[in-house]
Every structure is written in C-alpha cells, then in structure tokens.
Amino acid sequence: MTKGQQFAKTMRSNLGIGARTRRHRKGVDLHAEILECIRNATYYPGYYTGQRAELFQAAFNAQVSYTKHIAGYRADATVVAHVNALSPWQFCALLGDMVDAGIANAGEGERFFADMARRLFAQAA
C-alpha cells in the first residue's frame, strides 16, 4: 500500500467517510474538512499523533497545490468542475494520488492538473 493510499484510508477513517458519503454533511463541506485536517496536522504539532500525523503532513503540499490551482481557479475549468464534483471518498483518493505523484511545489501541481485535463479531454473524445 502506497503512502497516498494509506493517507486516503486514514483520512476516510478520521472523518467517517464512506463510499456513498455526500459532499455536504449537516451543512459542513467535507472537502473543506479534509483540507483543514491536513492544515491542522501541519500547523499544530501534536494535533494528531503517530502515523496519522505523518500521513496528513505528507499531504500538505498536495493541499497547497489544490488551494492554488483548483480553489484559486488557475487550472482548466473542466478540471476545476471535475474536482469540485468529486465525492469526499474520491477527493481523498485524488489527494492520495497527488501524494504518490510527489507533488512538492506549485509547478508540479500545475503539471499534475494539466495531465488530468488531458485525460478528461481524452475520455470525452
């Protein structure tokens, strides 16, 4: 099991996310909650302990890249719409894929989302 897959599994367990969980639970956006868990693990040492803290901190660069390119609408509009339509289960998997891809800066995140755009356009054709 890769580090990204471990991250996705741990995050899903942390927030009680199942395969059929909707994006909004009781008025709370689970995409935002996932990103907040990553920020808390990074900014507040001791917020999580052990392997959970290590996995969540490993996803910090993916979270920053997501914020810049998707939340900041720098990526292609098709990619932004696709990512915003993901369920929380799929969103955890996306962040896990970004961890496995070794996203370490904004440029690598930009290439990741550009590749995603190419795959989405190829599927549509």
Q: Beta-carbon neighbour count of residue 95 at 10 Å?
A: 24
Helix (H, G, I), strand (E, B) or coil at 29: strand
What is the average pLDDT across 6-20? 96
Angle ∠(102,39,53) on CA atoms, nearest 5: 70
pLDDT of 60 reads 96
- Interatomic CA distance for residues 26 and 11, integer angstroms: 19
How many domains are there within the chain? 1
**Percentage of the chain lying above the pLDDT 90 cut:** 95
**Residue 36 in this model has a pLDDT that exceeds 80:** yes
What is the average pLDDT across 9-27? 95
Domain range enclosing 74: 3-124
Global pTM reads 0.93
**Residue 125 in this model has a pLDDT that exceeds 80:** no
> Which string of b and e fits 27-60 if b means at least 16 CB within 10 Å?
eeebbeebbebbeebbeeeeebeeebbebbbbbb
pLDDT in tens, 45-59: 999 999 999 999 999
Token pair for 106: 């904004």
